[in-house]
Structure 1
Amino acid sequence: MVADDSLALVLRDFARTMLTDFPIQKILDHLVERIVAILPVSAAGVTLIEPGQRPRYVAASDENALRFEQLQSSLGEGPCLTAAESGEPVLVPDLRGEHPYARFGPAAIAAGMAAVFTFPLRHDNGWLGALDLYRDEVGPISDSAQLAAQTLADVAAAYIINAQAREESAMLAGWLHDQSLHDLLTGLPNRALLRQRLQHASERARLSRSAAAVVFLDLDHFTRVNEAFGHDVGDQALVAVAQRLSALTHPGDTLARVSGDEFVFLVEDLADATEVDDLLDRIDAAFAQEYELSGVRLSLSASAGVAYSRPGADITDDLVIAAGSAMDQAKNGGRTAGTGIDFGAARQTHDLNRLERDLTAAFAAGDLHLRYQPRVRARGGEFTGVEALLYWTHPTLGHIPAPIAVAAAERGGTSDRLNTWVLERSCRDWLRWSAGRQPGSVDLSVNVSARQLMSPGFPNAVSQRLTQAGMSAPGLILEVTETILIEDGTRALRTLQELKALGIRIALDNFGSGLGAFNCLRRYPLDFVKIDRSLVSNMASDPSSASMVAAITDLSHTLNMTVVAAGVETTEQRKNVVNAGCDLAQGYLFAQPMSAAALSAALN
């Protein structure tokens, strides 16, 4: 028997912890400690298990119980795992009798255990793990003891869900605060955080009587990059510049992006001006190397202005303004107060004027075609859908990267025709290979440019194309980048809501390429989050990338979104994204982009 007052005291303790920030591990430790005190058992243990994952938390009343919990995990069998998988209690009153645990049973008996009784930690959406009660004597436990154990397991599960929600809420709040102080594209400090750093530098300067310097950097003719190659390539260039410049900073320095193509270095505790001269030399060397982005090679240039504070003087926005003025003088040819860095204007790899003309002929000549890269379940490898990729084979220039083709179409006024062609062709191909397959088992993803998404009537145009092709709206996934959402968030939100109302699903592409804004996940009606290949490729060597992927995955799952890992090329990368909890994967490890005919043959 279990005394009602003993159980009531334990339940009251749990009720109190529901109102506190008690860590999950502590509540599990508290649970097993109290259970041994009120139930007729020798020891108790509890394990939280995520589907397909190793145990996350383990608690035990003593070393033997801990060893039994770990033994089940290492052997891959035992009543704890059975209860966690089935959601039902598992009662083994005699481990020497009949039970399905061929390896765990003998090992447990050898360690002095005679019986085990396991109860799942249940909640509305399933179960979190299991509570194990161990006895060193053979025999059952009473019905009242079983009821008390299951009650405590259920209450503990409710607390854990509550604690997890608090943790996720705190994590989200932290992310949002962090994002408010960082540039959404590059992840660098923004102007607000720069002001905080200036204030901090001012306090340090007053205490140490030290000086500081601000270097104001502006990319030359950067609008030409956006005009020639489109905003996607322009954004990639800004991220690449930010990465190179970040590598030049010393501990204690700050690099901020303060506007579109303007960056600011804050150098504190300045010993003498040669430190800034060395920094400018490093900037010079960084811009001497070309940038290769989506098949586009760019040579960028910049102008810089420098302003110095007096030792011990306040360091304010005025110093940034002075450096900006010096930069303007440097850009206009003066060098009195600024230092200029000039490597020539951004160079275009292809003659876009020629490509504008050639693109019109490419439609008739059949030089445009689509290839499809399969997307699979990260763990099991089952085929789930494809992404349509645009290819242009120029008769004399060879392969033209998709961003160049899109830029040529937008400049030449054929973007609507190109977008319509991609959507119509991909929908027709989708019908070919989805015929005979279970409805909803094959998705088609199509990339959408900023201009396309923002064009008037875009949702209706997509709906018409689907109707003409005979394709259902839920089979289509439109992939957008976070930069599209950032540029005109209100308009983008309205368009995405209209698309969702039609039944079309939305994926956020390249998430993490610029340490993207987590509030995009919360604000927009998204179904999928596609983690950028750069994060995936760095997971093995960079713990921060692995942590970022896990954080993105956890938050996305909390918001009921499916997570896709892009650019998976090795078995190690696949293992990493599976361990991080990613749902789907895409990359050369599974399949290269292929023609519609080749894909149809492969599926059949």
Structure 2
Amino acid sequence: MSVALTGVAFALLYRLELVGDLPLVALLILLGVASAASEAAVRRWRDSPSPRQLHALVAVQMVGTTVIIYAIGWGPTLALGYLFILARDLEDVGSRAWRPALLWTVLSMAGGQAAIATGIAFTYVATPYVHGLAILAALGVAFVIHVLGTKTAIQEATDSELRMSEASFRQLFADNPQPMWVYEAETLAFLEVNEAAIRHYGYAREEFLDRHITDIRPVEDVPRLLADVAGERDALQQGAWRHRLKDGRVIDVEVRSHQLSFDSHDAVLVAVQDVTHRNALESELRHQAFHDSLTDLANRALFADRVDHAIRRQERDTTTVAVVVLDLDGFKTVNDSLGHTVGDELLVAVAARLEGCLRPGDTAARLGGDEFAILLEDLEEPEAADRLAQRIIDVLAPPFSLSGKEIFVHASLGISLAEGERESADELLRNADAAMYRAKGEGKGCYRLFDPAMHSAAMARLELEGDMRRAIDEGEFVLHYQPTVSLSTGKVMALEALVRWQHPTRGLIPPAEFIHLAEENGLIVEIGRWVLREACRRARYWQLAHRGYRLTIAVNLSARQLGDPRLVDDVSRVLHETGLEPSALTLEITESVLIADTEVAISRLHALKSLGVRLAIDDFGTGYSSLSSLRQLPVDTLKIDKAFIDGVTTGVEAAGLVQAIVRLAGTLELRTIAEGVERRDQVDRLEELGCSEVQGYHFSRPLAPDDVEAFLKTRGLDRAEAPATARLPGDELNAARS
């Protein structure tokens, strides 16, 4: 079509005599040949031409154009034609064409100018002006060719980078292990989704592309999403959301989104990270930071925070806030005798019972060990705290069935009422703690309400506990010994070791004032080890000083000591180190020690018995021993409690009970010792009832070690059946004395 139009134009211009001096037919033939040659070259070399082919293509085009424009006499004035040829080549071949085009344009124009100069070609522009015009035209065309060529090259590079970027993006998008998708910014419809998203969310690709991003959000989150999308968006956004999977599960996600153009759409690229597990872990860590790991009750930090908030709320109304502190009586015995696993099970069971006592809104906490606390808010009257405390005592009274055993525990409770905003959580807890210790000191298994006078008692208790720890290191504990006398001979049969505390400022402290505290804080085990070693050492010394006579030493064991797994080894080691014959040592336990777990206690007692030591039940008749359980115990002696001895001469019942115990002991081939004998008539009555040995102030108070020797000389010892065998070296008496 362009060739035909050019031919028509030539015909019109020919009539006007503006197309040179060649006949019109010749011009049309030249036009046709040049066009045909150009088209043939394009068809042959347009697709990925080699450098030589590219030059050939451009040469044919430029030479053909030169022949036409110089044949019609206008030569350099039509140099613009070269640019049309270049534009087509840049489109067909690319920027590679501009350099060959520049070369062949200059060569072609030079050839045309040579034809003018030699008279071969006609020109409407007079010489020499035509040559100057040719130079200027060549420079202008060369400049434009260079600009078009370099611009095309830059565009090609940009397009290539874009294609590579898009390819890289699609590859990264498709292979990314993180769920990703692209959605249309206006309609919120999914445009593309990667394999990770398909696997994670459970939808097929077609299902995704048939949905909108609102379809994977929980219904309640959609309004927030729409508001977020409708707002002004930054180029890069991130946030936390919830997504719904195909199976209905809701997950927590963190989303990063970026605006971009995608397949001619104004779109948003989204990268998703599933943080459900991380959030759950963080939530669990936050929970653990404020809850007891064993019972899942509130811990001390959370409890104190809630108490402080409750006190502040109390200021705005007329209700009462109370704190109850609870400590289990006998838990250490359970823990030591049955092991920590059962102890932990007991704490969990106690926590469950406590929570069952509470109202909605009350808080139960485990402060540590076997100590619990309860926060009571919005109490209409202070007496409500008393009722709850009693309810807790009643709830904990039934036995706990753990690991096939029935375990009895009781609790001592202290109550503190908030008096006003000046109090803090620490003060309320401290006050309730003081009240709890008062309850323990008054019989356990009860509760007490705090009063200010308890502060001084609590401070004294803390001071005494600190002094006790120091006393162990400083050697302030001493032993006094109370004799046991045979009713048949009147001679001394044994000495019972009784610990005393020689306080540097308070003087001699009796055991009633510190043993209970030592049992609670666990120091009784360390004190007991010292008592055992010192008593055995002294007994061996007196044995050596009174050869041929019989003398045994009795040492009391607490529940904590009997529960100590090292007890048997400790006794064996002390006997070996002191040289005391095992049969000369009697270990005394109370019936209450057996309550926590008879099976463990019996096992421990048998292990002690296997060493050859003697065993006695102290305060017999005040506990819960049955005949069946007594038959299982490898004991040698029953010590009749002082409560029965006090009425043995005045009450028929007391005398009958003592006689029953003596007969029971005889049946089981056990010795009996009456404790707390203070009068001569009691001695006579006990002798009538068949009791074999007695102990009490009527014969002697507990004696200091230096006074024991004088008493032994005065009262005398029973002669042994065979001389005692010394197990120490030759100067064993001096060694024992030291």
Interval containing the TM-score (normalised by the shorter chain): 0.3 to 0.5
Higher helix share: 2
TM-score (norm 2): 0.36
TM-score (norm 1): 0.44
